[in-house]
Amino acid sequence: MIHFLVTTLNLLKLSEVEPQASGLPEYIKIVEVGPRDGLQNEKMIVPTDTKIEFINQLSKTGLPAIEVTSFVSSKWVPQMADHKEVMSGIERHPGVQYPVLTPNLQGFHSAIAAGATEVSVFGAASESFSKMNINCSIEESMERFEEVTKSARNMNIPVRGYVSCALGCPYEGNVVPDKVAEVSKRLYSMGCYEISLGDTIGVGTPGSMKKMLEAVMKEIPLSALAVHCHDTYGQALANILTAIQSLNASRGKEKTEEPSLTRETQSPESHTYHDMGVAVVDSSVAGLGGCPYAKGATGNVATEDVIYMLNGLGINTHLDSQHLTATSWKEQQAFRDRNIII
């Protein structure tokens, strides 16, 4: 294993950022979801101190955002029962966002009391998945999220929105792109500064990713979109590449500034679907992850793999690839030492 780690680190030295390819963003923001989405499906409970050390090490890699935990009922997601202890135990680095998931107003207030400075709400483009995942219909979930975003706005707390099953549902199969666009628009309209479009079960392909994004980008600005890919069929990197590319090659290289949490008022009509080039990607170190309510789905796309691809495309992430890989390896060893299978 030590030899493997050294070999990997040496390969990463060879994957320094290449010259910029045309039609791609100059910068991609990586949202690390390993500590929350990565661990939530593990049957063996990960000790709180291990989670805290995991997050602290990730904070040293240059990641701009690390999803820490979820303020949900421990009855439904036992792995996240220690959310308060995790929030109070982590070291917060300047310039790093530490969002947490909140399913409703009660979860939101608990998160704020624990010191959260950013929250996320998680909807779905599938009625069946919404009922299985958060025990309510899509419309009911929107009403709950309205309460959260209203309270967050009054407290100047940024809210990020998730749309699960953007490319397929474990219960309903195909999901119509217009439904994804509809749910995304609702979340954006209520104040979510960014909408993360999730291929929850990893069934998406570059073709379905393109069609889905075309539909969504007719409703909300490109600058407010992120993609969240699972790798069940080995399509995650291909789907991400599709999402970050511009379809209008004649425009040449587009400059993408590092995003801020301040949402500007923009007209969706000014962003045609040809302006493809999503600049925010969710990923999970070591490919950790899997949804408890999406049977058969494998983990998230590995952060290390995403960085390797982006470096090869000449896209900056401002991350320390070697530190990130070393952190991934060390945490996997720590999990195995505690008989936690990752």
From the list 342, 286, 329, 334, the residue with the least C-alpha distance to 5 is 329
Q: Is 291 a catalytic residue?
A: yes
From the list 270, 162, 277, 273, the residue with the least C-alpha distance to 215 is 273
Distance, in Å, from the CA atom of 15 to the CA atom of 112, rounded to the nearest integer, reads: 40
- Tokens 């706005």 appear where? 153
CB 184 within 8 A of CB 198: no
First to last CA, the chain: 15
Phi-psi region of 289 (alpha: psi -120 to 50; beta: other; left: phi over 0): left
Q: Which of 165, 169, 192, 291 is catalytic?
A: 291
Residue 304 token pair: 């290390």
Distance, in Å, from the CA atom of 247 to the CA atom of 305, rounded to the nearest integer, reads: 23
CB atoms within 10 A of CB 277: 21
Residues involved in catalysis: 291
